[in-house]
């Protein structure tokens, strides 16, 4: 049985303007492709990443402001943590306790 257009539309993910703009950026797409090609044994820890390139006070303040906005919009709930790395090696910057 063929799906109707309405059923197909309901399955589509909502993509916001910022995500759409990022995916249209060839440099961003290449960075994603490179990350996908990186074997897990070549990932680095958050501690190593912070040693190689620590966040500046300005970057931390920018991330805090961005996360505060997301929390106000109810899109995320962030606990008091600092820079972390997920199991897949992608760095996540969360609110600082300082």
Tell me the domain boundaries of the chain. Answer: 15-39, 45-98
Burial 2-25 (b: 16+ CB within 10 A, else e): eeeeeeeeeeeeeeeeeeeeeeee
Torsions phi, psi for 53 (to 5 deg): -150, 85
- Of the chain, the percentage scoring pLDDT greater than 70 comes to 65
Task: Give the mean pLDDT of 34-38.
Answer: 91
CB 89, CB 40: distance < 8 Å: yes
Q: Over the stretch 45-89, which tens digit does the pLDDT of each residue have?
A: 989 999 999 999 999 999 999 888 888 887 766 665 555 444 444
Res 78: pLDDT: 60
Measured in whole angstroms, the distance separating CA 88 from the mean position of its chain's CA atoms is 12
Strands in 1-97 per DSSP E: 84-85, 91-92
């Amino acid at each position: 049985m063929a799906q109707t257009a309405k059923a197909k539309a309901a399955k589509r993910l909502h993509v916001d303007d910022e995500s759409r703009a990022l995916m249209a950026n060839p440099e961003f797409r290449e960075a994603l492709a490179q990350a996908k090609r990186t074997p897990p044994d070549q990932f680095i820890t958050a501690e190593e990443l912070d040693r190689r390139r620590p966040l500046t006070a300005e970057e931390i303040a920018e991330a805090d402001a961005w996360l505060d906005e997301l929390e106000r919009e109810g899109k995320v709930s962030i606990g008091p943590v600092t820079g972390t790395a997920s199991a897949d090696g992608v760095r996540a910057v969360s609110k600082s306790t300082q």
